Each structure stands twice: as C-alpha cells, then as structure tokens.
Amino acid sequence: MSLFSAAIVRINSLSRYLFLLCWFILPNFSNAQPNILLIFSDDLNTRIGPYMDVNKHTPNLDRLASEGVMFTRAYCQYPLCGPSRASIMSGLYPASNGVLVNDDKPGSYKKINPALKDHPSMAGFFREQGYFTARVSKIFHMGVPGGIERGEPGGDDPTSWDYAFNVMGPETLSPGKLELLSPKSLHYGGNFARMILPDSLRFYQTDYIAANQAIAILESRAKKPAEGATNKKKIKPDAPFFLAVGFVRPHVPLISTESCFAHYPDEESVLPPVVVSDDVPEQALRRQNEKIWGMNELQKKKTISSYMASVRFMDQQVGRLLNTIDQLDLRKNTIVIFLSDHGYNLGEHDCWSKTSLWEGTVRVPLIISVPGTEDNYRGEFQSIVELIDLYPTLVDLCGYSKEAPDILQGQSLADVIKNGEQADKKTDAFTVTDRGESGTLVFGDYRYTRWGAEVGEENEELYNHISDPEEHKNLVNDASAKNDLETMRKRFDAAKEKSTKSLTQ
Ligand SMILES: [Ca+2]
C-alpha cells in the first residue's frame, strides 16, 4: 500500500468514525427529540378545575391534568411577574440571577447580571441544541395591560428565540364599558377593573390572538413540503420545536366574554372569611383592601366572579392549542406544560393580588404532560417542587442531561413523570419578595416567613399547614412550637444562602 492509499484508508476510517460518532452524539431531530409546548398563565392561583371542586370550570386544563402529572405543591420563587419568569426561564433563584423587580425593557437576567450573559435560558438552551424556538406574547416580563396595548416585547430575552411575536391587544381600550372595582386605585394593571364583552368580540382579545399565532406556528412546524420539493423559507425545517405561549388572563384588567361571565353570577361569589390575628407582622398585611383598593362587598364579589370568568376564557384558549396538536398529530411527540408565574390572593387575610408571601400567593398550578409510554405516571404529585425545577426537568426529559448548564439550581422532576416517585425528593421551597429582602420557606408541615433580612421584633410568621391550612394562627410566639421555629429558621437561612449563590461563568 502506498503512502497515499494508506492515507485514504485512514481518512475513510476517520470519516466512518466521525460518522458513527455523530450518529450516536447528535440528536435525531425528526424522531428522537420531543417537541415542547410551554403554556403560561398570568397571575393564576390554583382556582382551576383539577385543584378545586368547580364542575366544568376549566375543562381543558382538567383534560391536560388527566393526561399528565399535576403538582399540588408547586411554588414560585417570587410572587411577581418579572422576577418569577426570569427565575423559571433561567433555572436560577431571583437572588442569583439578579432580576428582583419588573423590567419592561429587553435583556432580562443577561442584562442585569453580565456574569450570566452566556447562560442560556430554558428556551435558549433548546435553541443551542438545534430546536426551533418561538415565543408568543408574555413569557419573560411584559406589562399588562400597558405593554400589551403598545405591542412591546417587555423584558424579553431576545436570544432565546428564533421567532417572537408580541400581541398588540386592545385590553382596557376594548370596545366595552370598563367597570372600576377598586375606587382607591386608578392605575390599570394594578387595580381591579372588569369588562364584559359580547362573545362576538372574543376574536380580538389578547389571549385569543396569542392562541391564533401559536396555532399558526404549530401548523407551520407540522407541515412538510411536498416530496422532492424544497422550501428555503422554513427555519430549521426538520428541527423539533420549543413553543412558549403566554396567556395574560386572569391578570387584571379582568376582561372576558358574556358567556364566560354567565357561569359566575356576582352574588354567588363567596368571599373568604377575614381572619387576621394581632401578631401578624404589618408587612404581611400591606395588600389589605382598605389600604390599597377600598372595595365594598359587592365590588369584592365582582372581582372574584370576573377573575373566574377570565380564567375560563384563558382555559378556552388552552383548549384551542390542545385541539390543534391533536389535529396535527403532534400530541404523541409533544411535551405539554402548563403553569402560572405566581399565585394570587382574592381576599384571604383581607389581602388581594400578589407580592405577599401567603400560601395562596406563592403556590401555583403546574401540570406536565409527557407523551410516550403508557407506563408514564398520571395523577397528582403531592410533594414540594419549585418552578426552577422545570428547566432541568425538560433538559432531562429530552435527553440532554449531560449538556445541562452546571449552574442550574432546580432539581429534575423527570422520574416523577416516569414513575410518580422522586428518588431525591425536594423538601423545601423558597420564595422571596421585597427585592429579595423578605422571604418564606415551606418545609414539611410548616411555612416560615421572615420580613426583612434578619430576625427582629415581630417580623416572623410560622404556620402549621396540617392544623391550620389557611394560615390563620401565627405560632412564632407559641412556646409549644419553639423547636419547630428553630428548625425552620435554620432551614430558611440555609435556603437563603443557597439561593444567593454567587454565579460566575
Ligand atoms: Ca404575573
């Protein structure tokens, strides 16, 4: 054999080796990697069908829950849109990624914390793996209703997406009477207001438009050019997709249709009992009615019925997406996730809205439905999980565990989906507010909350969720809970330290 032919053999061997290497290493996009449909709702607490006993309230979310795992103790990391969403998408606690307020300009954590400029968001990670990634409406922060009325991208991370679509919805400028429900608060976006629209106008509402665009993307991704034909316009034609769709209801203003409102007569709304004991720190009660909104009883009831009608409208849009992936035969290869950015109070503790640290403000709906084997677990998972767990979960489920960024702070839930168990079960969930100054921790049967950086005079709360699920009896000064208080203080300090880990790349 001449030197030349020996070289050819070596090159051929090398090519074969490289080919085999590529075969094993590179994902086979057309078959192996599942698509991801990530659906956000905004300001939605657990007032959806699977979590509460209201018949046919959210049939589409009920259906999704029946096809997957419903997490009954899922907690956000910050009960406010921007910080929570940046946390979910970065897979990092707010104190680590630096997003501790709402920011209406693009950049998110990469702008706030330059050390993270190369850390891909959850969507960006899949984009790096070759996925086609798309955003429809609010995924990172977007002001509602103002940002939507202007059609702006808000605090988006543009590097996450191959395609992004901002809905320009009419919101408060919709053709109808906007009824102010909170006389002390006139700022739309922070106040309570509602609009009941004729059903014929539903097509022009923000979430309906978002679903339209998402459906169009799904159809585009599902359709193949005719055999032998080429289509140079399609981006990554054979890639799986990561499609994130952000619905803005039930965020205020509470706009919905007559047929949705018809299910929730105002007078039938049930207000939670107002129970506020004297030893609750003042900071916990900043969202009380008379301090901010000044609603009378009827206005409170109208707020609740309007919230429910908004949830129903949002659920209908979820249904349109689920129907589309069924019709396009995408369901068998598409992971569907539904979640909210944080919870929401509707009168518990006389508190309304978000940013508080009550159970109702920090607990969120989370449903993950993974197609594939019939052996996959379907049902409730009742242990504690955090929304930062979603990033490593999707990475795992799609076979990219080895490529996962080292700095992710969540814990994969992939084995919960596979068999309903978690080998290394998470025991604590940590949430902050007030730019990270104050925080709360759930562990076991207890919630512990601290207002301010250090333990001080009357700035703590301790609740036993078994004997007091509504968090009405603060046990901080209860001698019988002394040991539990010490345990929770220590766990809180440890969780806080972990969540503020210095991250450098
Ligand atoms: Ca929100």
Which percentage of the chain shows pLDDT scores above 70? 93
**What spacing in Å lies between the alpha carbon of 42 and ligand 1's midpoint?**
4
For the whole model, what pTM was predicted?
Answer: 0.93
From 49-63, 101-115, 128-142, 161-175, the region with the lowest mean pLDDT: 49-63
- C-alpha–C-alpha distance, residues 226 and 223, integer Å: 9
pLDDT band at 423 (very low <50, low <70, confident <90, very high): confident
pLDDT band at 227 (very low <50, low <70, confident <90, very high): confident
**What spacing in Å lies between the alpha carbon of 141 and ligand 1's midpoint?**
8
**What spacing in Å lies between the alpha carbon of 271 and ligand 1's midpoint?**
22
Task: Reply yes or no on whether the pLDDT at 22 is more than 60.
Answer: no
**370 located within any domain:** yes
**What spacing in Å lies between the alpha carbon of 143 and ligand 1's midpoint?**
9
**What spacing in Å lies between the alpha carbon of 192 and ligand 1's midpoint?**
14
Asked if residues 111 and 163 have their Cβ atoms less than 8 Å apart, the reply is no
pLDDT of 171: 97
pLDDT of 54: 84
**What spacing in Å lies between the alpha carbon of 340 and ligand 1's midpoint?**
7
**What spacing in Å lies between the alpha carbon of 84 and ligand 1's midpoint?**
8
**266 located within any domain:** yes
Cβ neighbours around 343 below 10 Å, total: 26
pLDDT band at 443 (very low <50, low <70, confident <90, very high): very high
**What spacing in Å lies between the alpha carbon of 446 and ligand 1's midpoint?**
25
pLDDT of 268: 95
Q: What is the DSSP string of 272-305?
A: PP----TTS-GGGGTTBHHHHT---HHHHHHHHH
pLDDT digits (tens, 9 = 90+) for 361-378: 999 999 999 997 677 899
**What spacing in Å lies between the alpha carbon of 187 and ligand 1's midpoint?**
16
CATH code: domain of residue 125: 3.40.720.10
pLDDT of 230: 81
**What spacing in Å lies between the alpha carbon of 360 and ligand 1's midpoint?**
13
pLDDT band at 502 (very low <50, low <70, confident <90, very high): low
Q: Give burial (CB, 10 Å; 0-12/13-18/19+) of 79.
A: buried
- Give me the domain span that covers residue 358: 33-424
Q: What total number of domains does the chain contain?
A: 1
**What spacing in Å lies between the alpha carbon of 80 and ligand 1's midpoint?**
6
**456 located within any domain:** no
pLDDT digits (tens, 9 = 90+) for 139-166: 999 999 999 999 999 999 999 999 999 9
pLDDT band at 61 (very low <50, low <70, confident <90, very high): very high
**What spacing in Å lies between the alpha carbon of 43 and ligand 1's midpoint?**
4
**What spacing in Å lies between the alpha carbon of 431 and ligand 1's midpoint?**
15
**230 located within any domain:** yes
**416 located within any domain:** yes
pLDDT of 470: 95
**459 located within any domain:** no
Task: Reply yes or no on whether the pLDDT at 27 is more than 60.
Answer: no
**What spacing in Å lies between the alpha carbon of 398 and ligand 1's midpoint?**
28
> Sign of the CA dihedral 217, 218, 222, 223?
negative
**What spacing in Å lies between the alpha carbon of 189 and ligand 1's midpoint?**
11
* Residue with token string 């168990």: 421
**What spacing in Å lies between the alpha carbon of 193 and ligand 1's midpoint?**
16
**451 located within any domain:** no
In the chain the first and final C-alpha atoms are separated, in Å, by 51
**474 located within any domain:** no
What's the mean per-residue pLDDT of the chain? 92
